[in-house]
Structure 1
């Protein structure tokens, strides 16, 4: 049998009572393109606001900002691969509606996109955790604190896990082409379904931890519960990442127990699109109000009354004697939790035209008129 005829054969026989629709099968391309477009638009706006705030307004660029730009570039490449699937062989097409050639291309692009997504996860989660450290432990903070070690443990665990997963995905089969083309001779050492499941579990666990890490600090701040709630809401975008990761975990389990691989893998891949967008938004959105205010819009994009009250909290704590009155250039960090105080220099607070605001990351999302 010729190679051309082999790749034109059906990839899998249809279930009883179902007629294969090879060449004109129903698909979910329209829904997929709409979701990809929405995620790209939201992340592009968020990244642009972050870049404007950090590079042009505050003129304070840190390592995590460069990692954010790298992760956004990788995310665009990731979406480009998925848009390629729209044209051939399509999204949400049942396995029995595909030829061997179409199914092989679907798997090939799936493995490439998995590798790209792992690289994205290394960059963006490292950026988020570095941002948390910079925000809640300015000037180094207490390196013996649970917060400090939690961030570093998750950061390095994520780097090591994703790197290991990347190696396993690409070396699972010999030759590597056998990973997506089972019509050639070869063998696999590792089941890619198991690596996908472990990656989904790890992503969910780390997303949950990353969400709760700042919440623990926020709720130990010396302010009213309403203000704490307002600050907490800004970081609650982490819930979107947690939701996307648990949905991806659910679809990964379904993918591993079903022979209709092309259909269920489409669900896993599309959920990863939303998960990546949520991670970028978690990092970028806290800087958005500062950027919007800088371009002289009348109101902030989101009502964040708690941010504007942070300066008043610091002043009140100073008047109550919580700051060292004998040393005007030193005080307690407004982000240090109760019992975890450290000194910060007074040049972290700057007076501008009509505003008093912190110059650090939290200041990037705060504006108080006086």
Structure 2
């Protein structure tokens, strides 16, 4: 039976125009411009959405680009994403009406109806998302850390998966049927009965906290038994320690659930509960996605390729600018050159070989004009060869660089002296 069948339109309008809670003594209700903390809520929503989108893209990129395979947990995590986005979208509409962290005596009964309806809907969507994400995390850990299906870790993960699903399904059913008739959940002025939802919230949030603590400790027990160095174990444990933040957010939800049961100011207490829930689901998404980030660092990233592309498109110096820059470089660094390589880079090269030759600089003639030595040499070559000298060169490989002294055959090399 709906509220329209119990009350006339005038009675409904009168009820919905009343304060949702009597104000404390000496305090007047402010319906037009109530005190709120919408800026904090919007900042938290924006940060959570940005972090989730960033790390979800990293996981998707590494799975498709590098690993080139998608597993069951990836599909389950993908199904969870729309529920998270839908819940956060509804959460983002609350600052417009009635507002975040607004005291209940500063809003009307009609505004409270919309707030509680949104709260129930967001909670259901987040429960579905958390159920799917946590199942994905545990399935991935089974694939990462378990070689066979008979280990204790395997059975612990599967028991936790099914316990997690049962927990969230029970939560969704309970929230949907808290009151009879169901409409009384958000319209408390309708006659009917309701269970003690505050006690249920406290129990379920405490159970979530215990579950998150078990998920935090579970992979570390396996990591520290691996045949790796201590430094490697610390690095892997750090990647799987994002759950510490999730446990902190779950503890925040427990505190807010306690305050929900002890305070009649529902809109203020429920607002904090929703923000802690958003933080918990965001950090749970990070637990699922962050382990893929180190894989991306092992290969050239997309940003690195963009940087190389932009660098290749930068305009190069003209030949005249290039010659002048080389001349200034030789003046500041007399014996250094961009063509010169360290000796230890080419240990087989003789110290006087052409591998250490520098480019010739422009020289000035007596009349003050700069001349190119290569051009001047070619002009002299046109007059003919004046003298040749034959030099026999013997090279050997040093045993320090992986071989015995081997005598190379002598070979003549003609040098031109002009």
TM-score after normalising by structure 1: 0.77
Q: Say whether residues 1:205 and 2:206 are aligned partners.
A: no
Q: Say whether residues 1:191 and 2:200 are aligned partners.
A: no
Q: Say whether residues 1:146 and 2:152 are aligned partners.
A: yes
1:112: how far off?
A: 0.8
Q: Say whether residues 1:242 and 2:247 are aligned partners.
A: yes
1:19: how far off?
A: 2.1
1:87: how far off?
A: 1.1
Partner of 2:233: 228
* Counterpart among 113, 128, 132 of residue 123 in structure 1: 132
1:199: how far off?
A: 1.9
Q: Say whether residues 1:113 and 2:122 are aligned partners.
A: yes
Structure 1 residues 283-322: Cα deviation after superposition (integer angstroms, max 9, x where no partner)? 00111232353435569xxxxxxxxxxxxxxxxxxxxxxx
| CA distance in structure 1 between the partners assigned to 2:150 and 2:67 by the alignment | 30
Q: Are the equivalent residues in 2 in contact too, given 1:133–1:151 (CA < 8 A)?
A: yes
Partner of 1:158: 164
Q: Say whether residues 1:259 and 2:293 are aligned partners.
A: no
Rg: which structure is higher? Answer: 2
- Listed as ranges, the matches of 1:1-150 within 5 Å are 2-137=11-146, 141-150=147-156
Partner of 2:282: 277
| CA distance in structure 2 between the partners assigned to 1:199 and 1:23 by the alignment | 36
Partner of 1:268: 273
Q: CA RMSD in A?
A: 1.5
* Counterpart among 287, 290, 308 of residue 295 in structure 2: 290
Count of residue correspondences: 295
Structure 1 residues 156-186: Cα deviation after superposition (integer angstroms, max 9, x where no partner)? 0010111111111111212211011012222
| CA distance in structure 2 between the partners assigned to 1:225 and 1:183 by the alignment | 62
Structure 1 residues 165-213: Cα deviation after superposition (integer angstroms, max 9, x where no partner)? 111111121221101101222222x222122222211211111111111
Instruction: Identify unmatched segments of 5+ residues in structure 2.
Output: 1-9, 306-418
* Helix, strand or coil at the partner of 1:21: coil
Higher RCO (C-alpha under 8 Å, 6+ residues apart): 1
Q: Are the equivalent residues in 2 in contact too, given 1:28–1:92 (CA < 8 A)?
A: yes
| CA distance in structure 2 between the partners assigned to 1:291 and 1:230 by the alignment | 16
| CA distance in structure 1 between the partners assigned to 2:32 and 2:78 by the alignment | 40
Which region of structure 1 is more displaced relative to structure 2, 273-282 or 67-76?
67-76
In 2 relative to 1, CA 296–30 (structure 1 residues): closer, same or farther, beyond 3 Å?
Answer: closer
Partner of 2:188: 182
